[in-house]
């Protein structure tokens, strides 16, 4: 039967293939799973030289019915300049002795490459179902978790528990998030921007137009992701008409500074407030103000 030899780890240079019984070897099946191109010396006859490109499996049959002398592999470092050393570069060798049956098949054949670095002008992924992976990365020892993933429906994940993500930018972050908009009863509107809605830190921003008039109608925004522990709330909306709810029940009422009580300085920061809401909530309510038309403003929620 055939003899699969110990896989050979490749690095630039010349590496001998240690055959068990060279004089009884009638064929060698070599599978180059590395990114390197290889030159096989002595597989067909003493001193012969044949190329085995990256990602190719080929069958070598000695001219004299058996191997004579040593078989060597010359590993050609054909990587682009400044490219990293591959984490895996393997040559698989199967030795067929004189009594073995040579495998059927068409050679050379294409096989997958390990540690391959692809240099391309563009990547195109067209017409696949949502969730199709475009980029995935699994760190050694962290399988099956993906430290980096990008799918064709524009979902990008950076980092996992063992490998927290890190993003460095030299330019501004250009956020073009489509808001959820709700109109006032008679005029104006309020927009909700879900800036961050992960399982940890969250940011939600609300903006009210200068002509907002709710009449006698509350405006409720159900949050994309509920706040589970609490939040710091900053508002410049000049009326005490804000509250946060959980399952329809009011959890906290947010006041402007004029309503906080003695010590609130309406002359320095009129109509502004910073408060905390402790506990979970899943809805922000802009309470009806009986037709009063505020001058617009923002409402920022930061929490967990």
pLDDT tens readout for residues 171-206? 888 888 899 999 988 888 899 999 888 778 999 999
How many domains in the chain? 3
- For residue 139, tell me if it sits in a domain: yes
Integer Cα distance of 240 and 25 in angstroms: 90
Position 264 scores a pLDDT of: 39
Task: Tell me the pLDDT tens digit for each residue of 207-261.
Answer: 988 888 877 888 999 999 999 998 988 877 666 667 889 999 988 877 654 444 4
CA separation, residue 228 to residues 219, 251, 271, 283 (Å):
22, 12, 28, 12
- For residue 151, tell me if it sits in a domain: yes
Note if the bond before 144 is cis, omega within 30 degrees: yes
pLDDT mean across residues, the chain: 84
Owning domain of residue 158 = 120-165
Question: Which strands form 202-208's sheet, in the order they lie side by side?
Answer: 180-183, 189-197, 202-208, 297-303, 230-235, 273-278
pTM over the 0.75 mark? no
- Are residues 288 and 196 part of one domain? yes
- For residue 170, tell me if it sits in a domain: no
Spacing of C-alpha 189 from chain mean position: 36
- Are residues 97 and 59 part of one domain? yes
**CATH code of the domain covering residue 59:** 2.60.120
Position 129 scores a pLDDT of: 93
CB 10 within 8 A of CB 89: yes
pLDDT at residue 303 tops 60: yes
Position 58 scores a pLDDT of: 96
Residue at which a domain ends, from 110, 131, 153: 110
- Are residues 101 and 22 part of one domain? yes
- Are residues 155 and 217 part of one domain? no
- Are residues 125 and 98 part of one domain? no
- Are residues 222 and 280 part of one domain? yes
| Average pLDDT for 126-140 | 89
CB 275 within 8 A of CB 264: no
- Are residues 132 and 43 part of one domain? no
- For residue 199, tell me if it sits in a domain: yes
Q: Classify burial at 199, counting beta carbons within 10 Å of its beta carbon; exposed 0-12, middle 13-18, buried 19 or more.
A: exposed
- Are residues 106 and 125 part of one domain? no
Strands 71-76 vs 13-17: parallel, antiparallel or unpaired:
antiparallel
- For residue 220, tell me if it sits in a domain: yes
- For residue 137, tell me if it sits in a domain: yes
pLDDT at residue 154 tops 60: yes
- Are residues 124 and 105 part of one domain? no
Model confidence band, residue 270 (pLDDT cutoffs 50, 70, 90): very low
């Amino acid at each position: 039967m055939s003899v699969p030899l110990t896989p050979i780890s490749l690095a630039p240079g010349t590496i001998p293939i240690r055959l068990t019984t060279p004089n009884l070897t009638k064929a060698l099946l070599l599978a180059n799973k590395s990114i390197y191109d290889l030159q096989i010396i002595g597989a067909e006859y003493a001193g012969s030289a044949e190329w085995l490109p990256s990602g190719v499996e080929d069958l070598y049959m000695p001219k004299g019915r058996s191997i004579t002398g040593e078989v060597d592999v010359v590993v050609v470092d054909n990587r682009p300049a400044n490219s990293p050393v591959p984490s895996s570069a393997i040559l698989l060798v199967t030795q067929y002795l004189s009594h073995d049956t040579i495998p059927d098949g068409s050679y050379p054949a294409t096989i997958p490459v390990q540690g391959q670095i692809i240099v391309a002008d563009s990547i195109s992924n067209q017409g696949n179902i949502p969730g199709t992976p475009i980029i995935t990365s699994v760190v050694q020892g962290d399988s099956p978790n993906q430290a980096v993933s990008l799918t064709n429906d524009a979902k990008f994940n950076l980092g996992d528990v063992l490998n927290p993500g890190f993003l460095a930018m030299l330019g501004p972050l250009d956020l073009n998030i489509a808001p959820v908009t709700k109109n006032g009863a008679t005029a104006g509107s309020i927009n909700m921007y879900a800036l961050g809605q992960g399982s940890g830190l969250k940011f939600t921003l609300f903006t009210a137009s200068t002509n907002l008039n709710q009449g006698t109608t509350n405006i409720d925004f159900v949050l994309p992701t509920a706040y589970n522990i609490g939040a710091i709330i900053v508002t410049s909306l000049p009326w005490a008409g804000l509250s946060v709810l959980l399952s329809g029940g009011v959890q906290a009422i947010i006041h402007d500074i004029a309503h906080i009580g003695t010590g609130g300085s309406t002359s320095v920061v009129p109509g502004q407030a910073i408060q905390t809401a402790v506990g979970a909530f899943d809805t922000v309510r802009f309470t009806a103000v009986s037709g009063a038309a505020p001058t617009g403003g923002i409402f920022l929620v930061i929490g967990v």
